[in-house]
Chains A and B, each alone.
Chain A
Amino acid sequence: DAGVIQSPRHEVTEMGQEVTLRCKPISGHDYLFWYRQTMMRGLELLIYFNNNVPIDDSGMPEDRFSAKMPNASFSTLKIQPSEPRDSAVYFCASSEGGGMLDTQYFGPGTRLTVL
């Protein structure tokens, strides 16, 4: 069975450009999470969805970031306009349930560089 799929794997863009990151969760998983990882701050939760509905977006850094989940098999994280400090690895993860012991499975990540 395929794991969490993310695209692109690498993205290099210039400051001010729009960036769209994509994620396909594991089939049957009801929860989807977006994380950002940097050396300085480690792995941070940005937002998560349950059954395509955003539940908690308190980790989204600012209005330049937005996330959508139009259906159970697809989600996007958009940054507009992008800034150099957005450079990070962005991970998408999914889990079958939202219980405390439900395992989150991570995708391979998108390495974003904003010049």
Chain B
Amino acid sequence: ETGVTQSPTHLIKTRGQQVTLRCSSQSGHNTVSWYQQALGQGPQFIFQYYREEENGRGNFPPRFSGLQFPNYSSELNVNALELDDSALYLCASSQDRGGSPENGYTFGSGTRLTVV
């Protein structure tokens, strides 16, 4: 059983650019959630994807968007990057959208994004 894998592990972008982060969910999981973790803070919920549709969104502007593919993998896209977007972006997969954290909600190691 493979865990959650994210790519790339590190990324440096310039303000105003666009970025795409990728996540492969754990085997058997059909739901993917994305979190932003700024330095010294806890993770903040961005959005969740279930059956290829957005299923809940946190307090993030529309320039944060995502996709989920038929194999349940997911992408997070951020347009018009700002310096404050610098953070660790975590992907978590689970069996169902309201699933038990004991059986799901496995986090990847994250993508460290630096905007300069």
Q: Is chain B a partner of chain A in the same complex? A: no
Chain B residues within CB distance 8 Å of chain A: none
